[in-house]
Amino acid sequence: MKVIIVSKRHGRTRSLSFGGWTRAVVSACLLGLPIVGAWIGTELARGDGSDIFTSDSTKVWNEALAEQESQIKTTKRDAEEQLAALTLRMAELQARLLRLDALGERLTTIAKLDKGEFDFSQVPAVGGPESVDLGEAYQAPDFLDVIGQLTDQIASREQQLETLEALLANRKIQRDVFLAGRPIKKGWMSSRYGRRTDPFNGQIAWHSGVDFAGKLGSDIVAVAAGVVTWASERHGYGKMVEINHGNGFSTRYAHNTDNLVKVGDVVKKGQVVALMGSSGRSTGPHVHFEVYKHGRAVDPAAYIHRTNR
C-alpha cells in the first residue's frame, strides 16, 4: 500500500509505502473504529442502566410526566381562581370602606362635629423616620398585606363610627329630655298658672298648672322623653298621666278621656300619651298640664315657650 502526502504550502509531495502488517493495522483502524463505537454504544444502552431506556420504562415515565403536567395545570387554575376571588373580595372591602367613609362624613356634618377629630377623608395618621434604604427594588405590596391594611382601616372606621354614634345618641337623649313645647297638637291655652278664680266655687285659688282647651279626644303629647310614673285616676285630676324626665323634672297631663300609656312605659318626646277629655274636676274638654321641678310645681309657661334645643 502506498500513501501520498501533498504539502499544501509548497506543492511538494511525499509518498509512504506500507508493508503487509502495517496495511492490516491501518485498515483495521479505519474500519474498526466506527464498529467498536457502535458496539460500545449498544453495550452501554444494554448495560447496568438498561432498565431506564427500555420502551416499557419510557412509557411509565411519559405517563408520570403527563400526570405531573395535568397536576400543575390544575394547581395553576386553582391559584388563578383563588386570585380572582381574592381580587373580588378586596374590591368589596374597598367599596365598603368608601361607603363607611361617606357615612362618617355625613354624620360628622349632621352632628356639626369638629372635623379635626373625625376626618373620614384622611388616612389614619401614621409616621416614623425615613427607613434605611435596603437597596431592594420596589415590590408591589402583597395581596395579604393589602387585605390586612384594609381590615385595619375598617376596624379604625368602625371605632370612629361607634364613638360618633354614642356622641349622637347622648345628644339626642339630652335634647329629648329637654322640656319644651306644648302638650297638645291642636288647641289653645285657656287658663294660666298661678292665682285665679276657681271655676267651681268662684273663690281665689292657686292654679298649679296651665290649661289647654281643645276638641274632646284630641291628642295629648309628652313634652319630653321619659318614664311613665302614673297612668290612672287621681283625685281632682281625673284620668292622669305623669312622666318622669330625669334631672328632677316631671310633667302631669290631667282630665283625660283615655290614657294610652301605662306605668313603666318609656315614652318619646312628642309621643301621644293620652286623649283629651273632661274627667275629674273639669268644666269641659281640656288638658291640665303641670311641670314639677324637684317635687315642686312650677310655671309651665317658661318650658312651653322655649324652643327645642
Our CB check for Zn ion shows the closer of 175 and 234 to be 234
DSSP 3-state of 217: coil
By CB under 5 A, what part of segment 22-41 binds Zn ion? Answer: none
- Shortest spacing between CB 289 and Zn ion, in angstroms: 8
Collect all residues with Cβ–Cβ distance below 8 Å to 131 and sequence separation of at least 6: none
Cα torsion 29, 30, 33, 39: sign: negative
Residue 290 binds Zn ion (CB under 5 A): no
- Shortest spacing between CB 284 and Zn ion, in angstroms: 11
Question: Binding pattern to Zn ion, positions 183-222, x when CB under 5 A?
Answer: --------------------------x-x-----------
Size of the site for Zn ion (CB under 5 A): 3
Residue tagged 271655676 (cell numbers): 199
- Shortest spacing between CB 186 and Zn ion, in angstroms: 18
Our CB check for Zn ion shows the closer of 209 and 285 to be 209
Our CB check for Zn ion shows the closer of 189 and 227 to be 189
In DSSP terms, which residues pair with 189 in a beta bridge?
212
Exposure string over 120-159, b if 16+ CB within 10 A, otherwise e: beeeeeeeeeeeeeeeeeeeeeeeeeeeeebeebeeebee
DSSP characters over 23-76: HHHHHHHHHHHHHHHHHHHHHHHHSGGGGGGSHHHHHHHHHHHHHHHHHHHHHH
- Shortest spacing between CB 281 and Zn ion, in angstroms: 9
Question: Binding pattern to Zn ion, positions 87-106, x when CB under 5 A?
Answer: --------------------
- Shortest spacing between CB 307 and Zn ion, in angstroms: 24
In the list 288, 291, 292, 300, the residue contacting Zn ion (rule: CB under 5 A) is: 288
- Shortest spacing between CB 287 and Zn ion, in angstroms: 8
Q: Which residue is nearest to Zn ion (CB)?
A: 288
295's grid cell: 317635687
Site residues (vs Zn ion, CB under 5 A): 209, 211, 288
